[in-house]
């Protein structure tokens, strides 16, 4: 039977993608690279340094900077991102998310966070949702980022269950691959065209309930 639900954060629990985008856009413009929302799709679920690398590759500038300079750019982006997310309050949780978390708790289903973001704990605090989480996987504790399954596997390990007992919820294509490669059931939030590799696709979190989650498990 099912025992654990592993949530992605950005794009599932809160719409932080817009802040990541604004911060990357600011950084990109300073070095003469233009990014648009379509390109930004590729950065979803991808780590900070890997995102920077993709932006530099887009502008064919990857070999123009040393690792130290790249780390400084990533730090600058994160500083701006942290400034932007300070305005987040519990009102900014995506629709149904607090209700779903509460309902899973009532059903004694464990809840984990499998976000690539090093800002996950800060965001959960700003959203007032920390108390619902039985574990937060530290993204720096896994070697390979999404689409590798590592972060989801670590979540099942920390909560003491088999991958087959887990459902993962994701908005990013890379994240859905990570869940499927971990041997878990995947629920995706977003466009079915990008996310057809999930077991179930919902167009938004408005459609997410604890019943939808438990039903996918039994299918
Ligand atoms: P940070 P998720 C991911 O979070 C974001 O989707 C991605 O855009 C971001 O670059 C990554 O976290 C790292 O975030 O810079 O805050 O460590 O979707 O896996 O929750
Ligand atoms: Mg995401």
Give yes or no for residue 43 CB within 6 A of ligand 1.
yes
Q: Which ligand is nearest to the CA of 47?
A: 1
Question: Across 52-208, where does the E strand assignment appear?
Answer: 110-113, 135-136, 166-170, 185-189, 200-202
Pair 60, 7: CB distance under 8 Å = no
pLDDT in tens, 173-199: 999 999 999 999 999 999 999 999 999
Kindly give the distance from the C-alpha atom of residue 12 to the centroid of ligand 2, in angstroms, as a whole number: 6
Q: Which helix (H) or strand (E) holds 64?
A: none
pTM as predicted: 0.93
Is 190 close to ligand 1, i.e. is its CB under 6 Å away?
no
96 CB under 6 A from ligand 1? no
**Is 44 touching ligand 1 by the criterion CB < 6 Å?**
yes
Predicted local distance difference test score (pLDDT) of residue 1: 66
Ligand 2 center from residue 9 Cα (angstroms): 6
pLDDT at residue number 217: 78
- List CB contacts of 118: < 8 A, sequence separation 6 or more: 48, 78, 139, 140
What is the maximal distance between C-alpha atoms in the chain? Answer: 53
125 is catalytic: no
Closest ligand (CA of 82): 1
- pLDDT < 70 stretches in the chain: 1-2, 219
């Amino acid at each position: 039977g099912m025992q654990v639900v592993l949530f992605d954060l950005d794009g599932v629990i809160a719409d932080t993608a817009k802040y990541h985008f604004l911060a990357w856009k600011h950084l990109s413009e300073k070095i003469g690279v233009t990014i648009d929302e379509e390109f930004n799709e590729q950065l979803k679920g991808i780590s900070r340094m890997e995102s920077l690398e993709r932006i530099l590759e887009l502008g064919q500038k990857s070999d123009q900077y040393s690792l130290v300079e790249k780390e400084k750019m990533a730090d600058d982006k994160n500083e701006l991102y942290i400034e932007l997310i300070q305005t987040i309050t519990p009102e900014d949780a995506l629709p149904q998310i607090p209700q779903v978390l509460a309902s899973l708790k009532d059903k004694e289903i464990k809840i984990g966070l499998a976000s690539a973001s090093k800002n996950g704990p800060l965001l959960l605090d700003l959203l007032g949702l920390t108390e619902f989480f039985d574990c937060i996987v530290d993204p720096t504790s896994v070697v390979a980022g999404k689409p590798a399954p590592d972060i989801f596997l670590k979540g099942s390990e920390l909560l003491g269950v088999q991958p087959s007992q887990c459902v993962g919820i994701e908005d990013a294509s890379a994240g859905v691959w990570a869940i499927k490669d971990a041997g878990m059931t995947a629920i995706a939030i977003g466009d079915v065209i990008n996310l057809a590799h999930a077991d179930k696709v919902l167009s938004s979190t408005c459609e997410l309930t604890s019943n939808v989650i438990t039903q996918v498990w039994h299918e």
